[in-house]
Amino acid sequence: MKKLRVGILGLGRCGAFIKSLYLNDAEFVATCETKAEMNYGLKELYGEDFGFYTDFEEFLKHPGGMDVVIIGNFFHEHAHYAIRCLEEGINVISECLANATMAEGVALVRAAEKSKAMYILGENYQYSTECLEMKRIYDEGTMGKVLFAEGEYNHGLISSKEEADKTRTMYLRSFEEHWRNHLPRTYYVQHSLAPLMFVTGSRPVRISAMAAYNVNGTTGDKMIGPNVKDRAAIMITQNDDGSVFRVTGCSGWGSGDNTYRVCCEKGQLEIMRDDESLLVNYDENYVPSGKERKTRYIPEPDPTEAELIEKAGGGHGGSDYRVIVEALKHIRSGVQHPLDVYFATTLSSVAILGHRSVLNNGQPYDIPDFTKEEDRLKYENDYETPFYGTDGSKPTIPCSKN
């Protein structure tokens, strides 16, 4: 099997994937970083031919080429670099928010459709052992069709600058224009919504959202900066199969956790907050033969996989390892990954239009279907953003309701 040659844009986050690459017949051949000091020791680790670049266009020209680029630079700046990779025929694994504006989403879809390369969203939470078990049971069909689901992702608050320093928060948003200082609560929706879409196959077609304002002021939190006064955004999506989801983006109430619940015609699946066990709960009239009405257990990975996850570093409970396994498998086979460019831009559209709903008192917005050119045309010039640009451009909309 040919070793895939992989480059990384943004070692700070994506360095967590390197061990997984080598465990899956791939090699790390080049990186692009704005921080030149991160070059120290890389050639000793990865060989004399390893490439360290501070210019992205030079990175794309790395001798010997690259089969895959993992994109993990600033949260709101992935789309441009993904598009350039696709234009060069390089497969893309893109972290978190695929596009920070609706126009970028249109451009990204058009680039992916023209390219011979594959675009894959590098979202990881749906690959937790618990979510994979939920999907396995849902796909069996014994629960019937999904009617309602909930997804929550929460980072607890911090109480002081001293604690912020200890938890690297100031490092994570070290200057005023940093994206974390201007991140609306709906924008970090991937960890709450993507697993529900993955488990059920449902696609959001309409979004309405309202924010919970912190009336006592803010001391900041681990994920989102003090400019954002909303502590949570509660989003309701109507989906293409008639189901309804209630999700948060990154909420900021006390106690950090994440959880999922999928309510179906014949029963419910729920990850419990107290111990992350999975509750499988059938209606008494629909208990499958040979099963209990209620079971609660902590799913465990296969022992062989568990060993590989440990070797890879175990990031996010094994989810980081599985991101690489699934992405490389689909790139090698040529079979489109389920977290494709349409999945990715749907998530981004929920994030972006969800925030507009917050700013407009819960007004519903239709989620465009970017498989359709008529929907793309509506948004191809829509560059509204709450973020500062690297070119010094200022936000065009507020990052918070209050």
Residue 115 located in a structural domain? no
pLDDT bracket for residue 154 (50, 70, 90): confident
Residue 213 located in a structural domain? yes
Per DSSP, the residues of 206-250 read EEEEEEEE-TT----BSSS-TT--EEEEEEEEEETTS-EEEEESS
Residue 28 located in a structural domain? no
Residue 137 located in a structural domain? yes
CA 26 to chain centre: 23
Residue 161 located in a structural domain? yes
294-297 vs 91-94, strand pairing mode? unpaired
Domain count, the chain: 1
Q: Which domain holds residue 145?
A: 126-304+341-367
220: pLDDT strictly greater than 70: no
Residue 383 located in a structural domain? no
Q: Which of 56, 101, 73, 60 is nearest to 384 (CA)?
A: 101
Token pair, residue 116, equals: 């011979």
pLDDT bracket for residue 253 (50, 70, 90): confident
Residue 208 located in a structural domain? yes
- Domain CATH for 276: 3.30.360.10
Residue 40 located in a structural domain? no
Q: DSSP label at 336?
A: P
Q: DSSP label at 251?
A: B
pLDDT digits (tens, 9 = 90+) for 265-322: 999 999 998 888 999 999 999 999 999 999 999 999 999 999 999 999 988 889 999 9
